[in-house]
Amino acid sequence: MHGLMMDMPLLVSSLIRHADRWHGDTEIVSKTVEGGMHRYAYSEAHKRARRLAKALGALGAGMHDRVATLAWNGYRHFEIYYAVAGSGAVIHTINPRLFPEQIAYIANHAEDKFVFFDITFAPLIEKLVPQLKTVKGYVAMTGRAHMPKEKIPGLLCYEELVEAQDDDYEWPSFDDRTGACLCYTSGTTGNPRGVLLQHRTTIIHAYAASLPDVFCLSAREVVLPVVPMFHVNAWALPYCCPLAGAKMVLPGQHLDGESLYQLFESEEVTLSAGVPTVWLGLLNYMKQEKLRFSTLKRVVIGGSACPPAMIRILQEDYGLEVRHAWGMTEMSPLGTFAVLKAKHAKIDKEARYAIQAKQGFPIFGVDMKIVDQDGSELPRDGKAFGDLMVRGPWIISGYFKGEGGDPLRDGWFPTGDVVTIDPEGYMQITDRSKDVIKSGGEWISSIELENIAVAHPAIAEAAAIGVRHPQWDERPIIVAVKKPGGKVSKEELLRFFEGKVAKWWMPDDVVFVAELPHTATGKLSKLSLRQQFKDYKLSSAA
Residue type, 288: Q
Stretch that binds ligand ADP, among 49-57, 252-260, 302-310, 489-497 (CB under 6 A): 302-310
Residues in the interface with ligand ADP (CB under 6 A) total 22
Query: Residues 226, 35: contact at Cβ < 8 Å?
Result: no
| Residue 185 falls in the annotated catalytic set | yes
The reply to whether 414 sits near ligand ADP by the rule CB under 6 A is no
The reply to whether 417 sits near ligand ADP by the rule CB under 6 A is yes
CB of 135 or CB of 180, closer to ligand ADP = 180
Buried residues in 369-378 as b, exposed as e (16+ CB within 10 A):
ebbeeeeeeb
From residue 4 to residue 33, the character string flagging contacts with ligand ADP as x (rule: CB under 6 A) and all else as - is: ------------------------------
CB of 186 or CB of 284, closer to ligand ADP = 186
Judged by CB under 6 A, the residue of 13, 14, 93, 521 near ligand ADP is 521
CB of 277 or CB of 304, closer to ligand ADP = 304
- Phi then psi for residue 260, to 5 deg, are -65, -45
Q: How far is the CB of 359 from ligand ADP (least distance, A)?
A: 5
CB of 119 or CB of 418, closer to ligand ADP = 418
The reply to whether 324 sits near ligand ADP by the rule CB under 6 A is yes
Query: Residues 307, 451: contact at Cβ < 8 Å?
Result: yes
Q: How far is the CB of 206 from ligand ADP (least distance, A)?
A: 18
The reply to whether 303 sits near ligand ADP by the rule CB under 6 A is yes
Strands 473-482 and 156-157: unpaired
Question: Dihedral of the CA atoms 377, 380, 382, 388 (nearest 10)?
Answer: 50
CB of 48 or CB of 432, closer to ligand ADP = 432
Query: How many CA atoms are closer than 13 Å to the CA of 84, on its beta-carbon side?
Result: 25
Stretch that binds ligand ADP, among 49-57, 413-421, 438-446, 479-487 (CB under 6 A): 413-421
Judged by CB under 6 A, the residue of 28, 103, 328, 529 near ligand ADP is 328
Judged by CB under 6 A, the residue of 179, 281, 302, 507 near ligand ADP is 302
Judged by CB under 6 A, the residue of 13, 26, 277, 304 near ligand ADP is 304
DSSP state of 194: E
Q: How far is the CB of 521 from ligand ADP (least distance, A)?
A: 4
Nearest to 185, CA basis, from 86, 98, 62: 98
Query: Residues 381, 423: contact at Cβ < 8 Å?
Result: yes
Q: How far is the CB of 416 from ligand ADP (least distance, A)?
A: 6
Judged by CB under 6 A, the residue of 31, 109, 205, 523 near ligand ADP is 523
Q: How far is the CB of 6 from ligand ADP (least distance, A)?
A: 35
Judged by CB under 6 A, the residue of 102, 277, 359, 445 near ligand ADP is 359
Q: How far is the CB of 386 from ligand ADP (least distance, A)?
A: 15
Which sign, positive or negative, has the C-alpha torsion 262, 267, 268, 270?
negative
- Catalytic option among 438, 500, 534, 537: 438
CB of 142 or CB of 272, closer to ligand ADP = 272
- Catalytic option among 443, 448, 450, 523: 443
Nearest to 277, CA basis, from 529, 33, 517: 517
Peptide bond before residue 333 is cis, with ω within 30 degrees of 0: yes
Q: In what order do the strands lie in the sheet with 298-302?
A: 37-41, 27-31, 247-250, 222-225, 271-274, 298-302, 321-327, 334-338, 361-362
| Residue 330 falls in the annotated catalytic set | yes
CA distance 523 to 513: 17
Which sign, positive or negative, has the C-alpha torsion 80, 86, 87, 90?
positive
Which residues are within 8 A (CB) of 526 and not within 5 positions of it... i.e. 6 or more apart?
Answer: 432, 434, 435, 446, 463, 465
Judged by CB under 6 A, the residue of 43, 108, 120, 186 near ligand ADP is 186
Strands 321-327 and 334-338: antiparallel
Stretch that binds ligand ADP, among 73-81, 414-422, 499-507, 524-532 (CB under 6 A): 414-422
Judged by CB under 6 A, the residue of 138, 293, 326, 399 near ligand ADP is 326
| Residue 420 falls in the annotated catalytic set | no
CA distance 369 to 427: 10
Please, which residues bridge with residue 183 across strands? 195
Judged by CB under 6 A, the residue of 104, 223, 226, 305 near ligand ADP is 305
Q: How far is the CB of 429 from ligand ADP (least distance, A)?
A: 4
- Catalytic option among 44, 79, 267, 330: 330
The reply to whether 413 sits near ligand ADP by the rule CB under 6 A is no
| Residue 438 falls in the annotated catalytic set | yes
**From the CB of residue 84, how many other CB atoms can be counted at a distance below 10 Å?**
29
Nearest to 38, CA basis, from 26, 28, 48, 25: 28
The reply to whether 244 sits near ligand ADP by the rule CB under 6 A is no
The reply to whether 429 sits near ligand ADP by the rule CB under 6 A is yes
How many angstroms separate the Cα of 397 from the Cα of each of 174, 191, 331?
Answer: 21, 18, 10
Nearest to 522, CA basis, from 214, 322, 230, 118: 230
Q: How far is the CB of 294 from ligand ADP (least distance, A)?
A: 28
- Residues within the interface to ligand ADP (CB under 6 A): 185-186, 188, 302-306, 324-326, 328-329, 333, 359, 415-417, 429, 432, 521, 523
- Residues identified as active-site: 185, 330, 438, 443
